[in-house]
């Protein structure tokens, strides 16, 4: 027996041109859309779409079926809306992926004011890109662009990877070595300091060290803390140094609790992007989130 949902799914594919677009329109998974279409094609006994790399192209039989059912499906959807037991519009929910520090620095304080629900996911950037492409996430904040044809990337900020120190750290000797551009003495001074790191892989430290000294760092931090926000709080209360993105310490820099002591002779800059799918039903909500980031990181 034919399932009427198959026809609604067929109509959504026909009108959006993709399985992903149909899934977003119907609020179901893409595998669910594929299952409905294959079931309907098996029921009618012929192909309804030719599949290309970019689009689902309707066959002649598919066009005939669409013209036959389109008005009836629209009437059923109108009836569903008209006789729904509640007139309240459901509050939308969007899922956002980013690193913990970026969330804490920018979005956290705004959550109670947002007119929609938000789910925050922390993870590795390759995993976030995959989840965005699969529809698990609706927006990601990322310095990396993946090779996904369904995704869009909008640059909005450049972060600089720098060495910061607590305001009480004596850096007079380092400043002398920096003026003379003596890399050996600069490296020696840095290695002699109290270092803070995170439980992560310390990618920033490794990149900075390799970019300026052409080698991997051959030492371990003295203190391992949960995240970079913890590092900045620890430095604000005493001495020590760390390699972090500059924007994370903006408030502490402005208040004089920490200071940038070296940007490196070979400066490292990362472009941060808003990553979204090309087709989304949450364009308005995503735009509100983007405005918050642009305001906080300007």
261/178 Cα distance (integer angstroms)? 10
Q: What is the per-residue pLDDT across 162-216, written as a single tens digit (0 to 9) for each? A: 999 999 999 999 999 999 999 999 999 999 999 999 876 678 899 999 999 999 9
Partner residues linked to 155 by β-bridges: 273
47/56 Cα distance (integer angstroms)? 11
CB–CB of 187/208 below 8 Å? no
The reported pLDDT for the residue numbered 286 is 96
Partner residues linked to 243 by β-bridges: 163
- Helix crossing, 4-16 with 19-26: angle to 10°? 120
50/58 Cα distance (integer angstroms)? 6
136/274 Cα distance (integer angstroms)? 16
Q: Which residue has the tokens 């390699």?
A: 243
The reported pLDDT for the residue numbered 294 is 92
| Mean pLDDT over the full length of the chain | 89
The reported pLDDT for the residue numbered 227 is 86
Q: What is the per-residue pLDDT across 125-158, written as a single tens digit (0 to 9) for each? A: 889 999 999 888 999 999 989 888 889 999 999 9
Q: Which domains does the chain carry?
A: 4-82 (1.10.10.10), 93-155+272-296 (3.40.190.10), 159-269 (3.40.190.10)
Q: Residues with Cβ < 8 Å from 104, sequence gap 6 or more?
A: 229
CB–CB of 221/266 below 8 Å? no
Query: Closest Cα partner for 41 from 81, 13, 73?
Result: 13
The reported pLDDT for the residue numbered 76 is 83
In percent, the amount of the chain with pLDDT more than 90 equals 55
Partner residues linked to 152 by β-bridges: 276
- For the chain, give the number of residues: 298
187/210 Cα distance (integer angstroms)? 12
The reported pLDDT for the residue numbered 87 is 46
pTM over 0.85: no
Per-residue pLDDT of the chain (298 residues; tens, 9 = 90+): 678 888 889 999 999 999 988 888 888 888 888 899 999 998 888 899 998 878 899 999 989 998 988 888 888 877 776 665 544 567 889 999 998 888 988 999 999 999 999 999 988 888 999 999 988 899 999 998 988 888 999 999 999 999 999 999 999 999 999 999 999 999 999 999 999 998 766 788 999 999 999 999 988 899 999 888 899 999 998 899 999 999 888 889 889 999 999 999 999 998 999 999 998 989 999 999 999 999 988 7
């Amino acid at each position: 027996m034919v399932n009427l949902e198959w026809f609604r799914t067929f109509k959504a594919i026909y009108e959006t041109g993709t399985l992903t677009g149909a899934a977003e329109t119907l609020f179901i998974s893409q595998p669910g859309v594929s299952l409905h279409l294959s079931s309907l094609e098996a029921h009618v006994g012929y192909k309804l779409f030719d599949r290309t790399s970019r689009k689902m192209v309707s066959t002649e039989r598919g066009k005939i079926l669409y013209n036959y059912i389109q008005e009836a499906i629209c009437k059923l959807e109108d009836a569903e809306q008209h006789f729904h037991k509640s007139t309240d519009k459901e509050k939308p929910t969007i899922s956002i992926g980013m690193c913990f520090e970026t969330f804490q620095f920018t979005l956290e304080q705004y959550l109670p004011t947002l007119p929609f629900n938000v789910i925050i996911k922390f993870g590795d950037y390759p995993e976030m890109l995959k989840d965005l492409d699969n529809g698990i996430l609706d927006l990601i904040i990322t310095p990396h662009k993946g090779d996904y044809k369904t995704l869009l990337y909008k640059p909005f900020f450049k972060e600089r990877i720098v060495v910061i120190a607590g305001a009480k750290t004596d850096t007079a000797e380092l400043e002398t070595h920096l003026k003379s551009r003596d890399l050996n003495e600069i490296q020696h001074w840095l290695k002699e300091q109290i270092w803070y790191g995170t439980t992560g892989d310390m990618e920033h430290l490794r990149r900075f060290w390799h970019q300026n000294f052409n080698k991997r760092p051959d030492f371990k931090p003295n203190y391992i803390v949960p995240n970079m926000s913890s590092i900045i709080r620890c430095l604000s209360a005493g001495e020590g140094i760390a390699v972090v993105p500059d924007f994370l310490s903006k408030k502490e820099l402005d208040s004089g609790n920490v200071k940038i002591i070296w940007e490196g002779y070979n400066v490292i800059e990362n472009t941060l992007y808003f990553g979204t799918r090309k087709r989304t039903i949450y364009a308005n909500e995503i735009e509100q989130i983007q405005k918050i980031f642009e305001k906080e990181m300007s």
